[in-house]
Structure 1
Amino acid sequence: MKLSVIVPAYNEERTINTILQRVANVKLLDDTKLELIVVNDCSTDRTAEQILAYRQANPTVCVLYLEHNINRGKGYAIRTGIQAATGDFIIVQDADLEYDPDEFNVLLRPALRGVADVVYGSRFMGGRPHRILFFWHTIGNKFLTFFSNLMNNLNLTDMETCYKLFRASIVKGIELKEDRFGFEPEVTAKLAKLPGIRIYEVGISYYGRTYEEGKKINWRDGFRAIYCIFRYGAFS
């Protein structure tokens, strides 16, 4: 088995080297192999230099480096990574250290047991570390998850989570369109419509960051998420 890890990166020069090392150090269950795909979304800082320096310093780590010549957005970068992935399973890893790659195995376990096609990592299921940050972000996340559940007949606790592990054959067969953070509600709605799809959810840690520390999502993305939930939930 092989796990393809897609790392979309935009202006993450402070953390990209650390996250690549953390991903490379993970010991996956059942001798699952690791494929690391980094998609540089036209960063304007030293992100590209850091990635190339890491590859040169770690020649034994399988790192596929892809680059956009204009800034396309996280969703577009994920689509680029999905197209290039050769693994049996695919997961997205943000480059900002908010999520812990050591928990890949938590998401992999139901998939490797053959009971899950998709596994969501929930920041709200409890039992793991969770940085305390913004009240209104939490309310917004819970509202978006509730609205998504309502439209798609699901009972997720964290639709907006970055950690979604997909069986590659399934996610590669979905036509995705959203270029920014609308990826999360879009892929959830389209997965929910697949006959016989088996979606699981597991608790994960969350080491969130502030806007001063580089957080990029904003209130406009929240309104776009509402639009995406309705559009893909009702008409997809």
Structure 2
Amino acid sequence: MSLARRDVPRATFVLPVYNAQNFIASTLHRVHDWLRERPEPWELIVVDDASSDGTPSLIEAFAAGHPGDAIRCVRFAANRGKGFATRTGLGLARGPFVLFTDCDLAYPLENAERVMNELAAGADAVIACRVLPSSTYLISPSFFSYLYTRHLMGRAFNLICRVLTVPRLLDTQAGLKGFRASVIQPLLGALVMDGFSFDVELLRALQDRGARIVEMPVTYRYDTEPSTVRFIIDSLEMARDLAHVRIRSFLGRYRAPALTAPPPGRLVVHADDFGLAPGINQAIQEGFQAGSITSASILLGGPHAAPAVAWAAAHPEFDYGVHLNLTQGRPILPADRVPSLVDREGRFLELRRFLARFVTGRIRTHQVREEWRAQIETVRRAGVTVSHLDSHQHVHLLPRLFRKTALRIARHERVPLRVMDGPVRRRVLAPDFRGLMLALATRVCARPAGLDGASAHGFGTSLMRRPTVGNVQRLLSRARPGQTYEMVVHPGVPDRALADSGDGYVRGRELERRLIASEEFRAVVRNAGFELVPLGRAPLPAASPAGDRLHAG
């Protein structure tokens, strides 16, 4: 049985799907039957691009009917485009060869065998070409107008493609392509086109890397004629994308890395504020168990911290730090021992009042040091292993607090301390001012203490404004290969306790929770060349001459 889950696949069949309820059941069964007849082992990956019709239930029923077969079904939370869906499937492929085709099987399955033969003969990429003399069309007489409308327009578009973007290739948009996984997977993170321009960008990237691309004749079945208006609009949008691809190629975005490739990057998905509210505790616990969160820091000072600490103590398999607190709830120590940190009611000052008191010299650093050590001891005494330190609202990055207090505590506790120097959104019209300020604080107070030896780099403030897959993709594209990064997130299920806490970040927490739980997020991380790791497994930075330990993130 060539689809047995226990077998290591020789090849992967990727099927991107969107709103295909009228034919997807037939397609899946035909593909399944064809794969089972292959002499070599295969796997099937179906990527549903958030279909809004009956497609998801049909895919689920198909997968449930073949429990022992190597079938993986991925469903997006939102429609991302054919390009994004196809990249996701290509990135998941385990076989040395991988191909994808349109879900209506406009390219009959016997064409796939020809693709495999060309790959086995040494091609890096094989693309169907409908205009080669030996290609054939299966077409109803009612669609003969195709020869004078869409076909001619398609040829004109491909001519523009050859001139501007992909010279020598005759048919960029054919919906059947195959690749060597070792060639296609390393460049997936460099691709940004999510729609139908994906094919052109992919082929240009392959050309920039010197891949051997073979065009082969195919049999093509033409059953439906799309709207000419829609086709014209799509063509205009793709013409715009061609210019974008050409510019990215000119800038070297698709070029191969150095001959000695760096190891895979590591990404820590770190959740702050564990203990602030029940909905936040729930989101972090679920994220740990689902694998979407790999590290979290515990925030003391409120009534919901105790359940978070108890859960952490009961789940030592996960990675925890202490979210050192000066601006939320109440201190661990009696108020009369830390009077510079609290108001008349014995509560911590909110951030603006704290900063006003700090810049006027009325915050006593020895009181901060005693309170933070008490917070760390409280977590440890509950049976939780503390692997790192960071702080609520990043107050430890205030230069005087960093040098005189936070760094000394981290050195004494022998744990790394968060520093934010990862990728930052720098767009002129919508820059991430908070991220830029934290990066500046890192440069001012952390680098003199030995940050240059750090191997983890923190980022994520722009996610609080734009918790989107596209934002994550752009940020990771700025990351340096082979490094460790910590993406700071604030997931949560908004509830009354969160509203009553005074914390101003509410709605975005649910959006962040959905983001990191999505298949799209995992695809972006995987295709960017990162593996998810806990912060406790991130390599520690080199110590400074004074012995200070830091980590960025």
TM (normalized to structure 1)?
Answer: 0.88
Match of 2:125 among 118, 123, 127: 118
Q: Secondary structure at the match of 2:51?
A: coil
Distance between the aligned counterparts of 1:120 and 1:43, measured in 2?
A: 27
Q: Check whether the contact 1:13–1:50 (CA below 8 A) recurs between aligned residues.
A: yes
Q: Check whether the contact 2:129–2:170 (CA below 8 A) recurs between aligned residues.
A: yes
1:146-197: CA deviation from partner (whole Å, max 9, x where unpaired): 22222346322211101111111211121111111111111111111113x1
Of stretches 116-125 and 55-64 in structure 1, the one that deviates more from structure 2 is 55-64
Specify the alignment match of 2:11 in structure 1.
3
- Write the mapping of 1:1-236 to structure 2, written as runs, cut at 5 A: 2-26=10-34, 31-114=39-122, 116-132=123-139, 133=143, 134=146, 135-152=148-165, 154-174=167-187, 175-195=190-210, 197-211=211-225, 218-236=231-249
Specify the alignment match of 2:487 in structure 1.
none
Q: Secondary structure at the match of 2:149?
A: helix
Q: Secondary structure at the match of 1:186?
A: helix
Q: Check whether the contact 1:89–1:165 (CA below 8 A) recurs between aligned residues.
A: yes
Q: Check whether the contact 1:154–1:192 (CA below 8 A) recurs between aligned residues.
A: no
TM (normalized to structure 2)?
Answer: 0.40
Runs of 4 or more, structure 1, over 6 Å off, are none
Distance between the aligned counterparts of 1:225 and 1:153, measured in 2?
A: 14
- How many percent identity over aligned positions? 26
Q: Which amino acid aligns with 2:85?
A: A
Q: Check whether the contact 2:35–2:42 (CA below 8 A) recurs between aligned residues.
A: no
Q: Check whether the contact 1:29–1:109 (CA below 8 A) recurs between aligned residues.
A: no
Q: Which amino acid aligns with 2:173?
A: E
| Deviation for aligned residue 1:82 | 1.8
Q: Check whether the contact 1:144–1:159 (CA below 8 A) recurs between aligned residues.
A: no
Of stretches 43-52 and 88-97 in structure 1, the one that deviates more from structure 2 is 88-97
| Deviation for aligned residue 1:117 | 0.4
Q: Which amino acid aligns with 1:122?
A: C
Distance between the aligned counterparts of 2:184 and 2:167, measured in 1?
A: 18
Q: Which amino acid aligns with 2:195?
A: R
Distance between the aligned counterparts of 2:131 and 2:244, measured in 1?
A: 26
Distance between the aligned counterparts of 1:46 and 1:30, measured in 2?
A: 30
Q: Which amino acid aligns with 1:76?
A: F
Q: Check whether the contact 1:148–1:233 (CA below 8 A) recurs between aligned residues.
A: no
Q: Which amino acid aligns with 1:123?
A: R
Distance between the aligned counterparts of 1:128 and 1:60, measured in 2?
A: 37
Distance between the aligned counterparts of 1:138 and 1:182, measured in 2?
A: 18
Q: Which amino acid aligns with 1:40?
A: D
Q: CA RMSD in A?
A: 2.5
| Deviation for aligned residue 1:8 | 1.0
Distance between the aligned counterparts of 1:146 and 1:182, measured in 2?
A: 15
Specify the alignment match of 2:496 in structure 1.
none
**CA gap 1:61/1:15 in 2 versus in 1, 3 angstroms:** farther
- Unpaired runs of 5+ residues, structure 1, are none
> How many residues in Structure 1 have an aligned counterpart in Structure 2?
233
Q: Which amino acid aligns with 1:206?
A: Y
* Higher helix content, 1 or 2: 2
1:113-155: CA deviation from partner (whole Å, max 9, x where unpaired): 22x1001111222435413442321112212222222234632
